[in-house]
Structure formats: C-alpha cells, structure tokens
C-alpha cells in the first residue's frame, strides 16, 4: 500500500503503469471487490458529478439565500464576451461553482474529498472534457488518480476543515484535480506530483472561516479559485516546471500549519470572514429568520 506520493511514483515507475491503475489495483486488494464493480462504483460517482454540474448551470438557490446563480452568470458572460482569463478557465470555474451551488442548495453531490470542496475535481474534469475529448473510461480514471493523491493527504495530513483549515479541503481538492489533469493531458506521474505540489504550496495557510458556519461563503468561490489554480498548476507542470520542495514535504508542511492554526479559524465560524461585521450581520439575519 502506498503511503506517500514518492511511494506512488515509485510503483508507477517499477510497473510502468499510470497512477490511476495503482489506485485501482490497491482498491481491488483492500476491498476484495472485482475491477468491474470498483469501476462501476466510480462511474456512478462520475454520473452524480455530471448531473450536479448540469443542475447548477440551470440556476439554484440555497436555503439561506447566501449563494446560488453565479454559475449561470459566469456561463452567460463566457458565451457573450471574451473572458480575460480564457474560455477554458472560466468553463472550469463555472462548473466548479455550479457543483458547490447545488451542494449549498441541498442537491445531490459527490464529496471530493468533502462536500465543501466538492466543486474543484468535477469542475476541472468536465471543463477539460471538451478540450481533451476523453473516453468515459479516461474520465473515471481521472477520479482514481485524484483519489490516490487525496488518500495520501488524508493519511499524512487532513482533508477536514475542522482539523486542518480550508487548505485541507479546497487545497486538497485543487491539488488532486491538478494532478489528475496532468495524467489526462498525457503528462508523467512525476509531473502529476509536481502539479499537486505547486497547487498545495499556494493553498498553505488557507483558513476555514465560513459565514454563519454554513458551507456557502466563502466556500463556493474558493472552489472557483481552487479549480482555476488546478488548471494553471497542471500547465506549469506539463511545461516542465518543478517544485523545489517535494510534494510529500509540502503535505507535511500543510499538516504542521493545520496543527498550529487557531481553532477560531477551523470551521467554528468564530474568526476570519465569519467574524467580519458583514459576516456577523448575515449570520444574525439568517438565524434570526430561521428561528421563527
């Protein structure tokens, strides 16, 4: 069983197989299920992600009224104007936002790795779909590759905002998405690892400070930024740019930072954006009206 990103890369080299295949074989061994069953289960997750992306692009609204409708705006802008950041990036972003808006509106999503960070992976995947024209199998493999990197983070640091801050949620999700994007674009396992390191380095220290404790503000837009960063990191890695700090050590740094982070900045809604005058006013308004 691989415990680190370097283990993972080592196995791909020794056996000359992609990261997704290492993850699939390990899942077969751990669960005792057949390859077909495991593939089918992951494909069901893919179906859920696709449906969430579609639903959000039609426009949804959350129970609190804090979020919803931005995916529609972004998509309209993308179709009518020429986005400054490029069409692909905004396509990815609209699909990430779409997923998190559906989540906030109590729609059905697949946690990747959590509900609050569920937009990055499908945003990148379905945004790349039109560019790279992957087969359905390649799309399922994208999720296994993302899962392999997520598993290393979960076992060596954290994927929970309450334990490690937002770096552990959106940071992990964006890192996973960038690594999987590299594999889908034909990059090497090492380049996947570089992309993840580059993404995570820029996410270090990101706190979890949700307004009113709800998975809405700033979570939805953090998924927008996380998914766009995943694409840029993937491009850097594919260009041959490497991280001076190895991926596993970046994950180690993320764990240490999470340990040192004040609990007011770890999903308690006591600090950061949640503690701003507007954040507090929104919380009072939501819970005031909800208490009726």
Partner 1 sequence: MKFRSVFDIIGPVMIGPSSSHTAGAARIGKMARQLFGRQPKWAKIYLYGSFAKTYKGHGTDVAIIGGLLDYDTYDDRIKDAFRFAQEAGMDVEFIEEEGSSDHPNTARIKIGDDNGDFELVGISIGGGKAEITELNGFELRLSGGSPAILVMHNDRYGAIASVTKVLAEREINIGHMEVFVKSKVKTP
- Residue 143 touches partner 1, criterion: CB under 8 A: yes
Smaller CB separation from partner 1, 89 or 125? 125
- With H, G, I as helix, E, B as strand and everything else as coil, classify residue 262: coil
- Residue 113 touches partner 1, criterion: CB under 8 A: yes
Provide the greatest CA pair distance for the chain: 63
Cβ contact 161:266 at 8 Å:
yes
Smaller CB separation from partner 1, 88 or 111? 111
Cβ contact 49:57 at 8 Å:
no
| CA atoms within 13 Å, Cβ hemisphere of 290 | 10
Crossing angle, helix 87-104 and helix 35-58, to 10 degrees? 90
Cβ contact 251:200 at 8 Å:
yes
Smaller CB separation from partner 1, 38 or 90? 38
Cβ contact 95:71 at 8 Å:
yes
- Residue 264 touches partner 1, criterion: CB under 8 A: no
Of 13, 30, 61, 73, the residue at the interface with partner 1 (CB under 8 A) is 30
- Residue 42 touches partner 1, criterion: CB under 8 A: yes
Of 9, 18, 45, 90, the residue at the interface with partner 1 (CB under 8 A) is 45
- Residue 37 touches partner 1, criterion: CB under 8 A: no
Of 250, 254, 269, 274, the residue at the interface with partner 1 (CB under 8 A) is 269
Radius of gyration of the chain from its Cα atoms, rounded to whole angstroms = 18
- Residue 290 touches partner 1, criterion: CB under 8 A: yes
- Residue 233 touches partner 1, criterion: CB under 8 A: no
Q: Bridge-partner residues for 208, per DSSP?
A: 266
DSSP code for 84: T
Which chain residues interact with partner 1 by CB under 8 A?
Answer: 1, 3, 23, 26-27, 30-31, 41-42, 44-45, 48, 62-64, 102-116, 118, 121, 143-144, 146-148, 150-151, 154-155, 159-160, 162-163, 176, 212-216, 268-269, 286-287, 290
């Amino acid at each position: 069983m691989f415990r680190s990103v370097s283990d993972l890369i080592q196995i791909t080299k020794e056996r000359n197989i992609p990261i997704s295949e290492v993850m699939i074989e390990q899942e077969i061994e751990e669960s005792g299920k057949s390859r077909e069953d495991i593939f089918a289960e992951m494909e069901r997750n893919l179906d859920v992600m696709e449906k969430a992306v579609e639903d959000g692009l039609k426009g949804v609204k959350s129970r609190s009224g804090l979020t919803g409708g931005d995916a529609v705006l972004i998509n309209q802008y993308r179709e009518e104007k020429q986005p400054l950041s490029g069409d692909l990036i905004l396509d990815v972003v609209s699909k990430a936002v779409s997923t998190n808006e559906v989540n906030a509106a109590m729609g059905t999503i697949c946690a990747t790795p959590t509900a609050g960070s569920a937009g990055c992976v499908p945003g990148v995947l379905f945004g790349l779909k039109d560019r790279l024209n992957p087969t359905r199998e390649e799309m399922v493999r994208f999720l296994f590759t993302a899962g392999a990197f997520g598993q290393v983070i979960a076992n060596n640091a954290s994927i929970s905002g309450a334990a490690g801050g937002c770096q552990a949620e959106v940071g992990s999700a964006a890192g996973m998405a960038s690594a999987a994007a590299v594999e889908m674009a034909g990059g090497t396992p090492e380049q996947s690892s570089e992309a993840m390191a580059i993404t995570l380095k820029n996410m270090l220290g990101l706190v979890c400070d949700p307004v009113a404790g709800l998975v809405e503000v700033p979570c939805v837009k953090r998924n927008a930024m996380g998914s766009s960063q995943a694409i840029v990191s993937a491009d850097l890695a594919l260009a041959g740019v490497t991280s001076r700090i190895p991926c596993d050590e970046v994950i180690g740094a993320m764990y240490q930072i999470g340990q040192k982070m004040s609990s007011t900045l770890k999903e308690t809604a006591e600090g950061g954006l949640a503690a701003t005058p507007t954040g507090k006013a929104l919380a009072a308004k939501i819970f005031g009206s909800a208490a009726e």
